[in-house]
Amino acid sequence: MRPDSLATGRSFDPALRGYIIHYHPGEANHCPSCGRSQWMVGRLMAECAYCETALPLENNRGVGACARFVSTHDVMASGDPRESTYP
């Protein structure tokens, strides 16, 4: 029996499971659950029109999966016209 990932303090990473099924645009994609091939395709996922099984798009790996942080350092120099001084 495998210990629960939350109990061990590790976060869940589906890529560690090995083979992951993706939806491939422009190809015949059969649903792994029901075997049909009608899909509703979004920006990040494709959903089976019959059983609602969702698959990630093959060409969007890593996009939207994690937060993107951008830090800028805006240091105002003395005499900068944006600097306001009130008497």
> Looking at the domain assignment, is residue 43 inside a domain?
yes
Summary mean pLDDT of the chain? 74
The 10s digit of each residue's pLDDT in 10-50 is: 666 666 767 778 899 889 999 999 999 999 999 889 999 99
> Looking at the domain assignment, is residue 51 inside a domain?
yes
pTM (predicted TM-score): 0.50
> Looking at the domain assignment, is residue 53 inside a domain?
yes
> Looking at the domain assignment, is residue 55 inside a domain?
yes
Query: How many independent structural domains does the chain possess?
Result: 1
> Looking at the domain assignment, is residue 81 inside a domain?
no
> Looking at the domain assignment, is residue 73 inside a domain?
no
Distance CA 21, CA 27 (A): 14
For residues 47 and 31, the answer to whether their CB atoms sit within 8 Å is: no
Closest CA to 19 of 48, 46, 55, 43: 55
- How do beta strands 45-48 and 39-41 pair? antiparallel
